[in-house]
Amino acid sequence: MGQSILIKRARLSYPHLYAKHAFDEKQEPKYKARFVVEKGSEEDKQIQKAINEAAKEVFGAKAAAILESIKGNNMKYVYTDGALSDDEGLQDCMILSASNKNVKPLLLDGKKQKLPDTDTGVLYAGCYVAAKLEIYASKDYKGIFATVTGVMFVGDGPAFSGGRPAAEDDFAELSVVEDDLDGIL
């Protein structure tokens, strides 16, 4: 159960989409990312609606009260106000955290072509993406969670800190001659 949604435009943040990642040895490694949307945007409304519907499916008449009690608890509620983030420039945004412990998400470039299994720098922190997500409620953990099943690049954006690897063209003005390396290596 859950609500399947397609977000058409979000900024990608903290992407770990090519390999499973855990922040410490106590966590189970997962594919994960955050999706940053503007407050009040169509994407924000779509996510809010999916959260409310998923909560009603699982919690029934108690859905509104349970949602109110878990908001702000990032272990139980995956949609947070960017104003509460330590990251700069997110005051007018909402952040959806999504993961997938079982299946690597489908990763596409802007032409809907599947990306290689290794990070090519196409999907970087700060770029704009579309994302296929499953929003669901859990009675066992009394929370709202999100699974990421696919991410497609839709446009460049200013890279967040540590966002995009250097490109070969970044070194175009340099020429390396082996004799120049004598004494360095």
pLDDT in tens, 18-38: 999 988 888 899 999 999 999
pLDDT value of position 70? 96
Q: Which of 146, 161, 149, 156 is nearest to 109 (CA)?
A: 156
CB of 173 closer than 8 Å to CB of 136: no
pLDDT value of position 88? 78
All residue ranges of the chain with pLDDT < 70 are 161-168, 170, 174-185
Every domain of the chain and the residues it spans? 3-181
CB of 128 closer than 8 Å to CB of 155: yes
3-181, superfamily in CATH?
Nucleic acid-binding proteins (2.40.50.140)
Distance, C-alpha 64 to centroid of its chain: 26
